Amino acid sequence: MAALKILVIPGSLRTGSFNARLAAVAAKELALLDVQVTLISLADYPLPIYDGDLEARSGPPDAAYDLKRMIASHHGVLIVTPEYNSSVPPLLKNAIDWATRARDRNETLGQAFRDRAFAIAAASGGKFGGLRALMALRQILALGCGATVIPKQMALSFADQAFDEMDRLKEPGDAEMLRGTLRQLIDVAQQMM
Ligand SMILES: Cc1cc2nc3c(=O)[nH]c(=O)nc-3n(C[C@H](O)[C@H](O)[C@H](O)COP(=O)(O)O)c2cc1C
């Protein structure tokens, strides 16, 4: 069987981002589980705020196609989101919105989202660990995009104290929550291959 490929997308560009750090831990963990991992930064997919007039004039920007094709070339996707005002940050929502508008030939709108498994994770300095952003992201992906979003998810609370000096998760409970989420993502992605 071909190697399982998982894409990891952090939803923050901030220097020292907790979510980018959690995404990096997840990518390492996936590699240990024999998965072919790609960890990207949304900085490499610069996109204007979605504007229907812009799309009507010139179609989705190249970066929207690049991101959609990146998603489509993997069997599963892990999105690691910050929580902004109890929801997902505009960077991530905008990237998802544009990616759902980029359609290659012989493809229906948003097909890349429907054909593969998604897992979601969040990190926040607060005690809920971005739980409300996870609820919003689950709704966007499952209801909005028709994606298969696995039931397990990772919410990292008190993220400012959660990493050790090697950027590993300090608490065994956090590491176990992440591992459980990744294992389920692998299982479901394999079933959908
Ligand atoms: C506009 C804004 C709104 C925020 N709202 C929340 C929130 O609702 N819940 C929360 O836990 N943290 C909230 N935060 C704090 C972020 O979780 C925190 O800045 C976090 O470090 C962002 O993720 P990052 O470290 O990956 O960049 C907010 C931050 C900003 C800038």
Position in ligand 1 atom list of the atom nearest CA 16: 25
Quick check: CB of 144 below 6 Å from ligand 1?
A: no
Q: Which domains does the chain have, with CATH numbers?
A: 5-191 (3.40.50.360)
pLDDT in tens, 46-66: 999 999 999 999 999 999 999
Q: Hey, what amino acid is at 115?
A: D
SS3 assignment for the chain? CCCCEEEEEECCCCCCCHHHHHHHHHHHHHHHCCCEEEECCHHHCCCCCCCHHHHHHHCCCHHHHHHHHHHHCCCEEEEEECCECCECCHHHHHHHHHHHHCCCCCCCCCHHHHCCEEEEEEECCCCCCCHHHHHHHHHHHHHHCCCEECCCCEEECCHHHCECCCCCECCHHHHHHHHHHHHHHHHHHHHCC
Q: Which residue's C-alpha comes closest to atom 23 of ligand 1? A: 82
Share above pLDDT 70 across residues of the chain, in percent, rounded to a whole number: 99
Compute the CA torsion angle 8, 136, 17, 92 (nearest 10 deg): 60
Print burial letters for 111-122: b (CB count within 10 Å at least 16), e (below 16): bbbeebbbbbbb
Counting residues of the chain whose pLDDT is more than 90, the rounded percentage is 99
Quote the tokens at residue 166: 């090697």
User: Is the minimum distance from the CB of 124 to ligand 1 under 6 angstroms?
Assistant: yes
Please write the tens of the pLDDT for every residue from 99-153.
Answer: 999 999 999 999 999 999 999 999 999 999 999 999 999 999 999 999 999 999 9
Instruction: Verify whether ligand 1 is closer than 6 Å to residue 98 (CB atom).
Output: no
User: Where residue 1 falls among pLDDT bands split at 50, 70, 90?
Assistant: low
163 lines ligand 1 (CB under 6 A): no
Residue 2 has pLDDT above 90, yes or no: no
